Amino acid sequence: MSEQALAPVSSGNSPKFSGGPATSGASKTRSSKWIANQRKLAPWLFLAPGVVMFLVYVIAPIGQSLWISLYEWDGIGVKTFIGIANYIELIDDEAFYTALYNNVLWLVLYMLAVPAGLLIAIFLNQTVTGIRIYKSLFFFPFVISQIVVGLIFSWFYAPNFGLFTKLLEFVGIEGIAILADERFVTYGIIVAGLWPQIAYCMILYLTGLNNVSPDQIEAARLDGAKGWKMLWYIIIPQLRPATFIAVVVTIIGALRSFDLVSIMTSGGPYGSSRVLSYYMYEQALSEYGFRMGYGASIAVVLFAIMMVFITLFIVRMLKDEREGY
Amino acid sequence: MFNFCKTAAGGFAAAFMITSSAYAAGDLVINLDQTDPAPKKAFEDIVAGFSKENPDVNVIVNTMHKEGYKTSIRNFLTADAPDLATWYAGNRMAPFVNAGLFEDVSDVWEENGLNEQLKSAAASMTIDGKKWGVPYTYYQWGIYYRKDIFEEKGIAVPTSWDELVAASAKLKAAGIDPFTIGTKALWPTGGWFDYMNLRVNGYEFHMDLTAGKVPYTDPRVKATFDKWAELVKPGYYNANHAALDWQEAVPALVQGKAAMYLMGNFAVDVFKNGGLKEEQIGFMQFPEITPGIPMAEDAPTDTIHIPANAKNKEDAKKFLAYMARADVQTATNVTLGQLPVNSGAERPEERILQQGFDMLSNAYALAQFYDRDAPAAMAKAGMEGFQEFMVKPERADAILDRLEKIRTRVYK
């Protein structure tokens, strides 16, 4: 393993490098070369396993997706090169815009999980008997599978017997089936998605709150800070790392939302709750989906959108590191 | 549910990869998509009967969940093919035939006289002049209705479109949904479109449309939608059907909140399990709409195929011949509660099946089903359009424009 990993990075050295025992003179020059380059080589050696994994499982599939997106291919037969025709078709595809719009909705509304998580975290950050139980209960939705969340909410919204429908009837609104109504369906699914996401943000903030410095709070209190001012100027700035992570996971979570759409509506009614990832699945892999090329082009678009955010995060992280946060 | 199927399918696929290498020369591996009790029993009987006649063949059956099977078949046909696999007739098998993944079994048809015995299904098994599998069962579609409710409200069984609309109006006035349907999985809408189009424009036009020869913007398609709107606009379907699966639409019929259900015969079993008594269930042919147009019916055929990469094709062909035999098809379909394809098979005993059998025997022609007659991409978009129409009938023109755009792309 180590020799294999060594091979590419040590190619500039003597070809006998990994050979058996040799004369003392040669071994002296070799070891001195090793010593001379050790500092340069060592990081690459340690990085090698990760780099290889990253190349094989991340970079290569990206390349493959880009490549497949230029073909007309049903996944089993012959591939035909069609250039950018798949992308041209996307521009003229209403279903694609519906999915894109829904992704934007997801992105915007999903961000509510961050302040909501913070609120609950602050609320739970106290020492009362049994607080651990309350914390675990609030954290519970994040522990259960998204599939289960989807099923629970499907029943919650179900026409006729669903709890939500009964509640609506109680306040005098009748005959609304959230998941069958193009106006509400995406919001309905996002609410289901928020339930575990809020719990996730909450746990991030709870750990963050543990690290808030008591001295600063004490000092602020002496200076007369209370309530909102205390929260805004003293607590939240100290929660910056937690906020950063919460925003990142929420954005990524919104863009890759798939399970809930699949389990709750299968993209319906008539495709009005589709998101890009689900549309990609539908076109390429589902029961009626035999269009690998088209699916891949949707995946590429989704990747491009994610890239915008990922780049922003990375730039931000590098900047922070340089400034020494 | 859906994701469960996917995982299950993945798991199965993985299981095949591990186990398949252990199969020996005399083994015959069958991949089956039937997990419901009746079909499972039917296949157990077939395998037992075949093994009795061919004691040297060791039959191995892999049963998979139906929905998971639909996606995993692509993997196992290419990666690790069984010797036999169940599937569906018509355009549904076209991708696999075109990709060279199914074996040409014209010789099995030739040698066993199937060209005569299975004549009714021959067309739906033929692509490029060759036969690609053997049909073992089919079933009728039609309107199942609550006999007792019809009697109570004094409604005679409708035999024309006007009577059907009048009956619907009467039921609606009595606070009963005339039709129940669950369109969440989309395909139930295909049954409705098939029948509306078959009755308004006839079989030839319907086949031309599903073959992509006629634009969806053709005024005749619009006429089909206009007729259909006579049921949709007054609200003769249950509300919120887009949130329901087809099984979830059954309780309305059982509880008497709805009176009719356009479905395939497999639904009868579900009605009975739901609590309906035999005498409460009636079956009627979808009534005539345009007078004088010969009545064609939907009758989806289930089939079994030999993958091109199968290892034991010789025994697989024997198995196909066995499954096609008249006596075997009789026994199989008694268990399935469906109809045998072989013309030499015995007439079913059960009342509704008999009715269906007679209807199909006198049918002018048989269509498979929208999602089996039309290619996958068109079927998906089409059924989505039908669902939208059933919720928002006023968008008919926009829907047809969209379908036309997809048609020009799909059939090129």
Q: pLDDT of B72-98, one tens digit each? A: 898 899 888 999 999 998 888 888 898
Alpha-helix runs per DSSP H in A112-238: 113-124, 131-143, 146-157, 163-170, 185-210, 214-222, 227-229, 236-238
B377: Cβ–Cβ under 8 A, 6 or more apart, which residues? Answer: A288, A290, A291, B406, B409, B410
Strand spans (E) along B43-174: 58-63, 84-88, 126-127, 130-131, 134-138, 141-146
Q: Give the C-alpha separation, A183 to A283, whole Å.
A: 24
ipTM of the predicted structure? Answer: 0.80
Which of B134, B13, B136 minimizes the C-alpha distance to B71? B13
> pLDDT band for position A325 (50/70/90)?
low
pLDDT digits (tens, 9 = 90+) for B152-167: 999 999 999 999 999 9
For residue B58, list its beta bridge partners. Answer: B27
The residue-averaged pLDDT of B357-369 equals 88
- B348 vs A293, residue with greater confidence: A293
Chain B's closest residue to A86, CA to CA, is B409
Spell out the residues 6+ positions from residue A207 whose beta carbon is closer than 8 angstroms to its own.
A242
Whether B20 has a pLDDT exceeding 80, the answer reads no
Give Cα A100 distance to the centre of its chain: 17
Q: A272-305 burial, b if ≥16 CB within 10 A, otherwise e?
A: bbbbbbbbbbbbbbbbbbbbbbbbbbbbbbbeeb
* Percent of chain A residues topping a pLDDT of 90: 47
Q: Are A258 and A284 in contact (CB under 8 A)?
A: no
pLDDT at position A289 is 82
Give the integer Cα–Cα distance in Å for B378 and B402.
11
pLDDT band at A28 (very low <50, low <70, confident <90, very high): low
* Nearest neighbour of A76 by CB, restricted to B95, B243, B379: B95
Q: Mean pLDDT over residues A263-287, rounded?
A: 90
Q: How confident is the model at residue B24 (pLDDT cuts 50, 70, 90)?
A: low
The answer for residues whose C-beta is within 8 angstroms of residue B206's C-beta and 6 or more apart is: B194, B197, B198, B296, B367, B373
Average pLDDT over residues B369-375: 89
Instruction: Evaluate if pTM is beyond 0.80.
Output: yes
**A15 pLDDT tier (thresholds 50, 70, 90):** very low
Beta strands B134-138 and B301-305, pairing class: antiparallel
Write down the residue that tokens 């006007």 correspond to: B162
Nearest Cα of chain B lies from the Cα of A297 at a distance, in angstroms, of 16
Mean of per-residue pLDDT scores for chain B = 88
Residues 6+ apart with CB under 8 A from B381: B402, B403, B406
Distance CA A278, CA A255 (A): 11
pLDDT digits (tens, 9 = 90+) for A244-260: 999 999 998 998 889 99
Q: What is residue B68's predicted lDDT score, i.e. its pLDDT?
A: 82
Question: What is residue A29's predicted lDDT score, i.e. its pLDDT?
Answer: 63
Residue A324 pLDDT class (50, 70, 90 cuts):
low
pLDDT at A172: 84
Q: In what order do the strands lie in the sheet with B177-179?
A: B177-179, B258-264, B141-146, B281-284
Averaged pLDDT, B18-27: 56
pLDDT in tens, B232-277: 999 999 988 998 889 889 999 999 999 999 999 988 888 988 899 9
Q: Which of A105-114, B7-16, B172-181 has the lowest mean pLDDT?
A: B7-16
The CA distance from B288 to B295, in Å, is 7
Query: Which pLDDT value is given to residue B23?
Result: 57
Model confidence at B297, in pLDDT bands (50, 70, 90)?
A: very high
pLDDT tens track for A113-126: 999 999 999 999 88
Residue of B nearest to A176 (CA): B240
Q: Which two tokens stand for residue A125?
A: 């950050």
Decide if B395 touches A, using CB distance below 8 A: no
As a whole number, mean pLDDT of residues B343-371 equals 88
Does the distance separating the beta carbons of A270 and B391 come in below 8 Å? yes
Is the model's pLDDT at A236 over the cut of 80?
yes
User: Is the CB of B156 inside 8 Å of chain A's CB atoms?
Assistant: no
From B358's Cα to the closest Cα of chain A, the distance in A is: 33
- Residue B287 CA: distances (Å) to CA of B5, B206, B215: 37, 17, 26
Distance between A57 CA and the closest CA of chain B, angstroms: 19
Q: How far is residue A155's CA from residue B63's CA, in Å, rounded to a whole number?
A: 30
Q: Which of B118, B115, B61 is nearest to B84 (CA)?
A: B61
**Between B16 and A263, where is the model more confident?**
A263
List the single residue in A74, A92, A282 with the smallest CB-CB distance to B95: A74
Higher pLDDT, B43 or A8: B43
CA of B399: which chain A residue's CA is closest? A270
Q: Does B289 touch chain A (CB under 8 A)?
A: no
Cα four-point dihedral sign B148, B152, B154, B155:
negative
